[in-house]
Amino acid sequence: MRLVEKTIRNIKSLDHEAMRKARVHQDNLTKPAGSLGRLEELAIKVCGIRGEFRPVLGKKRVVVFAGDHGVVEESISAYPQAVTAQMVHNFLNRGAAINAIASRNGAEVQVVDMGVNHDFGALPGLLAKKAAKGTSNFTRGPAMSMEELHWCLEAGIESAHQAKSEGVDLIAAGDMGIGNTTSASALFCAYLGFSPGSVAGPGAGIRPEQVRHKAEVVRKALRANKNSLSCPYRILAALGGFEIAGMTGLFLGACEKRMVALVDGFIATSAAVAAIRICPRVKDLLIFSHLSEEPGHRRVLEKLKARPLLSLDLRLGEGTGACLAMSLVEAALACHNQMATFRSAGVSGKEK
């Protein structure tokens, strides 16, 4: 059995008994019931994800998947494709935003080359999982083959499994890939029924007339791949990126291992949607970390009925918003696990 199918079979739903016990516990802590708002909800959800009444989380890691996109030939980005490889070097030299935020939050950063159009050679800290030197231009046919797709999914799953074996319990997927907002927009159209104009946005900073061109490129991609849009795997192969497929695999693997998996912004959400379409149980097991400034992200989250934890006008990717949200997960669990109950503290409860 392929690793992907085995992983999907092993994914279990939320543990509702653990969540019931957690709710009772929350209501007995020294605070008015519900006064910690969404922190209470977050703690209860983590209990359900972990299958534990009082979960204690280990290490934190952000896995940044990098890949290039053939669709950059269509002039849909404000930056040249070479930036993908340059940013991989920047991650490895700890000079990117995700490095700074992760360092401040005590999280590890792992960088994975899923398909950058560059020969890196053997570099310390870079995990080589290259499927090819960038995807094909999906306005002319599928972005990748089914074999390449399964390679990427398995690489993502293996990243989650490796993290778990190394004591990581709180994990996020980050992305780097010039052109990947175009790919994500196409995926949202195919998976969720959006029109290209409603989800295609400025990405890294293109002008309004370029956004309109980007939407037309997405329409062209959907037409070129219309015979591949009835199967979740074929949709991802036709319209995705190597790094997006890697993130999809990481979400599947993290859910299988009952890790707490945080979804970053626009690009990571497209990977989360792919994982949900491949295995619907995944939806309740993921935590959506923040609302991206990319306009289509709000529409997608509303369609998913997902409530992000943060809204900071971020639109960088890299896993930055997800890494910031790790602190909220830890704060929620700290209150859940460390606060006294009314009885243990000798504090009077609410009068009947």
pLDDT value at residue 170: 98
| Cβ-proximal residues to 72 (8 Å cutoff; 6+ apart), any chain | 80, 81, 178, 179
Q: Is the pTM of this model over 0.95?
A: yes
Q: How far apart are CA 161 and CA 148, in angstroms?
A: 20
Average pLDDT of the chain, as a whole number: 96
Rounded to whole angstroms, the Cα distance separating 162 from 185 reads 30
Task: Give, in words, the CATH class of 3-55+336-345.
Answer: mainly alpha
Architecture of domain 59-330: 3-Layer(aba) Sandwich (3.40)
Instruction: Give the pLDDT band of residue 46 (cuts 50, 70, 90).
Output: very high
Exposure of 317 in the CB half-sphere (CA atoms within 13 A): 27
**Helical (H) or strand (E) element with 85:** helix 82-92
Burial per residue of 166-185, b for 16 or more beta-carbon CB atoms within 10 angstroms, e otherwise: eebbbbbbbbbbbbbbbbbb
Active site residue 318: yes
Distance (Å, whole) CA 262 – CA 268: 9
Catalytic hit among 40, 74, 243, 318: 318
For the segment 173-190, what is each residue's pLDDT rounded down to a tens digit?
Answer: 999 999 999 999 999 999
Across 17-42, average pLDDT: 96
Closest of 130, 133, 41 to residue 81, by C-alpha: 133
Q: What is the DSSP letter of 119?
A: -
pLDDT tens readout for residues 293-324: 999 999 999 999 999 999 999 999 999 999 99
CATH 3.40.50.10210 residue ranges for the chain:
59-330
**Which DSSP letter does residue 71 get?**
G
Residue among 340, 339, 321, 322 nearest 331 (CA): 339
Residues of the chain with CATH 1.10.1610.10: 3-55+336-345
